[in-house]
Structure 1
Amino acid sequence: MTLLAAFKNNGIPMLIGDFLVSTSSKIAKPMFMPTAPKYSGSDMFKPINYVKKIYIINNKFAIGFTGKLNPARYIIKKIKDRFSKKVTFSELKSLLFNIRCAYKKDVELTGWICKKRPLCFHWSGKNPNELKIVSDCFIGSGKDHFKSMHNSGDLTKYVNFKRSFDKALFFGLTKVSSILHGEMTTGENLHHMYGLGAELIIWNGVEFSYIKKVSFIFVEAVINENNQINITLIPCVCTYENFESLSLLQIYYEGKMESDLLNLHPTTNTFIMHYESIDNREIKENLRKTEPVSPESNLWFTGVIVKYSDGTSLGKIRMISAKSNSKQKSFVCFKNGLIELNVKMFSDEYSSVIFQMKEKYLDFLNGR
């Protein structure tokens, strides 16, 4: 089960894909998920693996897959071999129609070809002779849940951007980050069978590129009876980093973890998830990361859960208001689901907590 989303924001094409692989088999053993340690699946599906689902085939061609893993890998491999330098819509359509593999009907593809103008396409193995041009495309088990999140709370209008690209990048990153935020707090996206993080490919006007690195911190903002904000840090730091055909998601938890858990680095208490290329030959050529990466990044996302002191949840915050004054309450709830916090009250408490966490983690990695 999966999520793929191909869409534009401010005229900028982008492609988002999650990493989770699941099954409906009742005898399958669910794998441990470091992003949701207590989650083991449901009656409908179990998490069993993870895989990289979106790719840059060449600098003007990005694609993602969903469906059965083996035929999807075979088809993507054929596409990479054929179109690594250039692609035309008609040639791609011909290849997809003529390719022969078992369970082809169980594969769906979406992505972008950007030449004179961006073309978003959708293809299903159930109708292999049809390669459709669409305005956008959301496919996979998580499409409806992600679309509801996608269509609500566009925070770009609250921030001043100099370029359309910066505005689109901010929008895309908030959507990718919201997947991981939901997964590590309420688990909402896992109930729709997608997750284990996600990654973003974006068009910069010349070529497609991955977002190279972003780190995540999660906090609780607790509103006490005096309407003051107390910040409680969730003792976890996540870092996503891309190495072209290899992507990595690293999850660090403060405190002792079981040493025999999957992907737990034995000395640094850090889970390292490798999302590898479908091309096994490329995997061997890649510098395979076995040590934790530094969380230092130009991009940081902070997920905030807002609660009353009695434990009642107000919801998740996607935006902190840049306005505050002495008369403003510590928070204001709006009908669209956004929560505005008094930025001065929040930042005074927040900045010291986050700084301490970052420094503590860097010291931990460096053995200090």
Structure 2
Amino acid sequence: MGAGARGEADALLLRCRALVRPALAGAVGRLHPWTGEMAAFSLGWADVDGTPEPGASEGKGVRQALAVLGAEAVGADGRVAVAGAVAVELVHAFSLLHDDIMDGDALRRQRETVWKAYGTGPAVLAGDALFALAVQSLAEVPSTHTGPAVRRLGETLTDLVRGQADDLCFEDRPWTGPDAVRPEAYRVMAEHKTGSLLGCAAALGALLGGAPEATVAALDRAGRHLGVAFQAVDDLLGVWGDPAVTGKPVHGDLRRGKKTYPVLAALAAGTPESRELAALLEAAAPGAPAPGRPGTPEAPSPDPVDAAGTLDDPAVAARAASLVERAGGRAATMREAVDQLAAARRCLRAVPLRPGPSRDLDALLAFLLHRAV
């Protein structure tokens, strides 16, 4: 993706954020002052003491951009485009607050996460407040299609929670054997956890604007494919991303032992590197026997990493990252992202959309793929 295309995508995201920001700020302003302060901190608007922080990152705003563009693509009124964008952005903010607690992440966008800054209990409360506000703000939209829109948001939340539950359950499953997580199962999890909200974002404004059901369904399906691609790219960044850009430590996902697509694809490849990676992961897992004890896997290479180390050891994590790449996990994940984005484009081209917003949606899809390039 060239600099010009990146600049176009950045300008598109900036336009959508500027369009949605006043309504989003108005919605957050309805919260209790304390939960509102935590919400403003989480959204990158203010410091931990409530002081405006214009230099902080507000994130890319991908979901609100999808909501705006999905509405514009069917000629919906600008007010419903913004209303849909506010609802999905509030749900996204709620999900990040709770996700950071569940994953124990101390940093997001190069700042403390809400639970680190305010405490776990307050962060849970702030997330609950954002969730309730999302439903309330959508239910108040003056449209004859508000009821179906609220139902769609409720279904999305159910999907999102199902995906998060699967992601957490994956952590307790083995790396190999009949109970191991396969790439296919991970793909389903990613569609629920990430794709459901992106699909809802793309569809919600169109639904509120009275678009035909086939068009709404196509936008939702495109967003779900985009979500799997987005998660695949996030998985690449979680292993090989630049900490100065991601705000997270190098090899962060590997060091936490997360079952991400690159690792699962590498393990499924069936190569010598796959088997070496499996032995390393099993030996480095919590509770694995130390070298020399019964049940300890033998070193599969002449230059093994000490199996007594854990994945939190930078040397072990670096060795694992190298094996994932050599086993083809990195390339397979990029192919998955490309294939999912192609599927998203096919969904968009299957229904009549306005040319300008349709081109903008295509530019946004390309930008999301090339975050990892």
TM-score range, shorter chain: under 0.3
Instruction: Tell which has more relative contact order, 1 or 2 (C-alpha 8 A, sep 6+).
Output: 2
TM-score by length of 2: 0.25
Q: Which has the higher helix share?
A: 2
